[in-house]
Amino acid sequence: MTSPSAPFSVLCEPGFNPHQLNKYATLMTCGNGYLGIRGGHEEAYTDQVRGMFVAGFYHRATPDEVTELVNLPDITGCKIEFGNTPFSLLAGKLLSYRREFHPELGELCRELIWQSPEGGLFSLKSARFVARAPQQLVAATLTLTALDQETPLRLTTGIDATQTNSGRQHLTEASVRVMHQHTLQGCYRTPEGDMALMISSHCRLSSDDARISYAAKNRQLNQQFSTTLRVGVPLTLEKISWVDVCLPGDAEPENWDEHCLAQLAPQVEQGYAALRAASLQQWQRWWPQARVEVGSSDPFDQLALDMSAYHLAAMTPAHDERCSVAAKGLTGEGYKGHVFWDTDIFILPYHLLTRPETARALLRYRYHRLPQAQQKAARCGYEGALFPWESAFTGDEETPAFGLINIRTGLRQPVASALAEHHLVADIAYAAVGYLQATGDAQFQATETQALLKACALFWLSRTTEVNGRLELHDVIGPDEYTEHINNNAYTNYLAHYCVAQALHYLPDTPEHEDVHTRGRDFLARCVLPQPDNERVIPQDDSFFSKPTIDLTRYQAKAGTQSILLDYSRAEVNEMQILKQADLIMLFFLLPSLFSREVQRANLDYYLPRTIHDSSLSKAIYAIVACRNGMADLAWPLYREAMAIDLGPEPHSCDDGIHAAATGAIWLGAIMGFAGLEYQEGQLVLSPRLPPHWKTLRFPLCWRGEQLQVSISHQQLQIEKANDAPLSICVHGTLHSFTRRLVLALEH
C-alpha cells in the first residue's frame, strides 16, 4: 500500500483519579504474551492492585481452592520520600499530570509536577515497558527533579513477594540475595516445588553519591538509595529486570541464578533508551500484519482498534502451546486466569486471519488436553471429550464451585457452568474447522482436527436424550448464563449438529471411524433443531417462551455489573425471559448461512430487549449480526458500546483485568461486522458496510498462506497481495477471482 499509516493512538488517563486506579492499571498493562505487568503507579495506594503474571504460571493455593494464575512478586513499586514526606498524589498538590500508554510498543509513561504538603516543588517522569523480545526483560526508568529547593531523597525499591492473589499466597521465598553487590535476586517456588520463578533486578542511579543499603525481611528484598536532590539537577533511577520461570516439566537450568544474571547483564549495559529502541523495532516489524486502520471522524475508534491489537498480542502466549489466553489475559486476577470458550470463539479468529500459526498453537493447547477432556467426559458418564468450562495448565476442570451470595438464603450460589455449559465442546470443534478453512493446513487436518472432531462428536452422540424418536439435548446452559438447566438450547443444538456434521466430513469413512459415522448419521437425522415460530422467532430453549418478561431498562443501563442479582436470586432470574448475553444471536454470528435475513432480523428484534448484556461477550456480537443484516442503526451504537466496555467512562470497567474476549470482539466487529468477512465455509467473503463516519477501513489478512492487504471505502474495495496465484473472493454475494490486486466499486 502506498498511503502512509495513521499515527499510533495514545491512551491518555484523563487525570489522576483514585477511583480509576485499577481500571487504568489494567488498560496500561505492559505485556508480551509471556509476561504481563499491570500499570500500577510507583507509589502505593490502598485500592491499587499491582500484578505481574506469567502465562502458564498457575497454582492452587490449597486443595479446596481452584487453580489460579499467580500474582507474582512485584518489581514496579518504588517508595519515594522527599525529606520525610512520602510521595503520594493524595497529598500535596498536583500542578500538572500526564499519564499515557503507547500501544505502539506497550510503553507506560507518566510526567507530573507535584508540590509536597511542605511546599517543595518536584517533577517526576517515569516510563516502563516489557520487551517484545527477549520476553523476560522489563525496563523501567524514573527521573526526579527538585524544582525549587534542595531536598533529601530516599528511594526504596526491590522485589516485593508480599503480593498475593486476594490474600492467597502461592509462592515460598526460596532464596533472596544481593548478587555481586549490585543485583537483587529472589527465587520463589511453589510449595510443591514443581514451578519456580527467578527475578533479578538491577538498579542504577545517575548519581554516584547516594548511600545504598539492602534489606530482606518479611518477603521483601529492597534496595534503598539515600541522596540529595539538587535544584534543577535531574536524578534518574533505571531498573532493569529479568523475570524467568520454570513451568511444570521444564528442566531448571544449571546455575539458574548465575544464568539469569548473565542474561540480564548485557541488557543493563544498554540502558533504558537503547532497550526501548530495540523493543520498538520488534513491534514495528509486527504491526503491519496486525493493525486495523480506520479513517474515522472519531479518534476513539482508532484508539480502540490499536489498544485491541496491542492487548491481543500481549495476552496471547504464542510461544508456548502449554498455555492459552486467559479471560483477562495477563492483566489481572479476574477469572483466576482461566481459559474459557472466549479464546476459541472470540480471540482465535483474529490470530487465524493475521498469524495463523498462533491460532494453530491455541488449538494445539486444546489438542494436548484431550486426555483430560476425555476423562471429564467419562466421569460425567459421556463418551468423547468434555473440555473443562474453565481450563488452566493441566486441562482439568477449574471452575470454582461457588459464585455470588444468594440474596434470599445468604449462601453462595453454586456455579453450574462446569456441569452443564457444554456448548464449549462444539465451540472448540467449530474453531478447529475454521482453522482448516482459513489455512488449508492438511497436516493439522489429518491429526489434530480429526482427533478433536472425533472426540467432540462422540461427546454429543452420547449426550442425547431420546424423546418420541427425536434426539434432544437436555439440562444444558447455552451462552446465556442467566438461563440454566434448560432443554434444547437452540445455540447448543445447532452447534452440536454442526460439530457432528463436520466430524463426518473430515473423518475418513474407514472401519476405525465406522461407529462415529453410523451413529453420527443417525444423530444428524434425528437431532432436534428448534425452528422459528409464526413470528419467525426461534425459541432459545424449550421453556423460554413460557416464562414472564420484565422491564430490564435499569439493568441494561448498568450492563456488565450483574445489578439484577442485587434484586433477584439466580433461581428467580432463571425463571424469566432474561438474557445475560447473546445466545441465539451468537448462533447467527457463527452459522449465518443457516438462517434467512428475515429470521435473523426478527430474532434480533425479539431478543435484544430481553438482553441485559451483563456479559462482555454480547454487544459486539449483536452489532455484527445487525450489521450483516443491514440494521446499520442498531449495529453502530452497539459496536460503539462494545468498544467502550473497557475503554469507556465507567471508572471500574476492568479493575480485575481487561475483557479479553471483548478485546477480540473489537477486531471481530470491524472485520466480521463492518468489513463483512466470513470464512467458515471455506470461501473468503467480504461484504463491507462501513458506518457513515468511517471513510476508510484498512487491514491485513492472512488467508491460506497469503498475505493480503484490504482497503475499504464507501466507494471501493481494494485487495492487494504479493504473488500471482489466483484467489477467489465473494463480495456482497458475487464471486471475484484475482491475482495481485482486486479493485471493486461498491454500490450504496
Q: Which three cell numbers stand for residue 464?
A: 442425547
CB-nearer residue toward its own copies: 265 or 746 = 265
194 labelled as ligand-binding?
A: no
Q: Are 321 and 364 in contact (CB under 8 A)?
A: yes
Coil vs helix vs strand at 156: strand
Q: Measure the CA angle with vertex 163, ends 161 and 165; round to 5°.
A: 135
Considering the complex, what minimum distance in angstroms separates the CB of residue 323 from its own copies? Answer: 23
- The torsion of the CA quartet 552, 556, 561, 562, rounded to 10 degrees, works out to 20
Q: Are 669 and 623 in contact (CB under 8 A)?
A: yes
Question: Side chain identity at 626, as an amino acid letter?
Answer: A
CA distance linking residue 66 with residue 594, whole number of Å: 39
Q: Are 482 and 565 in contact (CB under 8 A)?
A: no
Question: Side chain identity at 204, as an amino acid letter?
Answer: R
**Which candidate, 291, 272, 294, places its Cα nearest to that of 283?**
291
**Which candidate, 380, 369, 370, 345, places its Cα nearest to that of 359?**
345
481 is catalytic: yes
Considering the complex, what minimum distance in angstroms separates the CB of residue 712 from its own copies? Answer: 43
Considering the complex, what minimum distance in angstroms separates the CB of residue 161 from its own copies? Answer: 6
260-264: long-range contacts, CB 8 A cutoff, minimum separation 24: 260/185, 260/198, 260/200, 261/179, 261/180, 261/183, 261/185, 261/200, 263/134, 263/136, 264/183, 264/200, 264/202, 264/240
Q: Measure the CA angle with vertex 348, ends 459 and 135; round to 5°.
A: 120
Q: What string of DSSP letters covers 479-512?
A: S-TTS-SBS--HHHHHHHHHHHHHHHHHS--SGG
CB-nearer residue toward its own copies: 24 or 367 = 24
Which runs of consecutive H residues, i.e. helices, occur in 557-659? 570-574, 584-590, 597-607, 619-628, 632-647
Q: At what angle do helices 450-462 and 423-439 cross, to 10 degrees?
A: 150
CB-nearer residue toward its own copies: 204 or 714 = 204
Coil vs helix vs strand at 27: helix
Question: Side chain identity at 376, as an amino acid letter?
Answer: K
Q: At what angle do helices 450-462 and 514-526 cross, to 10 degrees?
A: 50
341 labelled as ligand-binding?
A: yes
CB-nearer residue toward its own copies: 412 or 597 = 412
- The torsion of the CA quartet 644, 650, 656, 662, rounded to 10 degrees, works out to -20
Considering the complex, what minimum distance in angstroms separates the CB of residue 168 from its own copies? Answer: 6
CB-nearer residue toward its own copies: 44 or 278 = 44
**Which candidate, 532, 421, 537, 529, places its Cα nearest to that of 479?**
421
Q: Which one of the listed residues 481, 535, 575, 650 is annotated catalytic?
A: 481
581 labelled as ligand-binding?
A: yes
Considering the complex, what minimum distance in angstroms separates the CB of residue 660 from its own copies? Answer: 19
- Phi, psi angle pair for 712, to nearest 5°: -125, 135
Considering the complex, what minimum distance in angstroms separates the CB of residue 174 from its own copies? Answer: 8
Distances (CA, A) of 109 to 30, 103, 310, 678: 11, 11, 16, 39
**Which residues are 211's β-sheet partners?**
226
CB-nearer residue toward its own copies: 178 or 246 = 178
Q: Which three cell numbers stand for residue 240?
A: 532493569
Element (H, E) at 428: helix 423-439
Considering the complex, what minimum distance in angstroms separates the CB of residue 335 from its own copies? Answer: 12
Considering the complex, what minimum distance in angstroms separates the CB of residue 224 from its own copies? Answer: 10
CA torsion sign for 434, 359, 500, 704 is: positive
Considering the complex, what minimum distance in angstroms separates the CB of residue 412 from its own copies? Answer: 6
Using CB under 8 A as the criterion, which residues of the chain lie in contact with its own copies when the complex forms? 18-19, 44-47, 61-65, 84, 86, 88, 90-91, 161-164, 166-169, 172, 174, 176-181, 191, 213-220, 333, 404-405, 407, 410-412, 566
Q: Which residues are catalytic?
A: 481
Q: Residues marked as binding for substrate?
A: 341-342, 580-581
Q: Residues marked as binding?
A: 341-342, 580-581
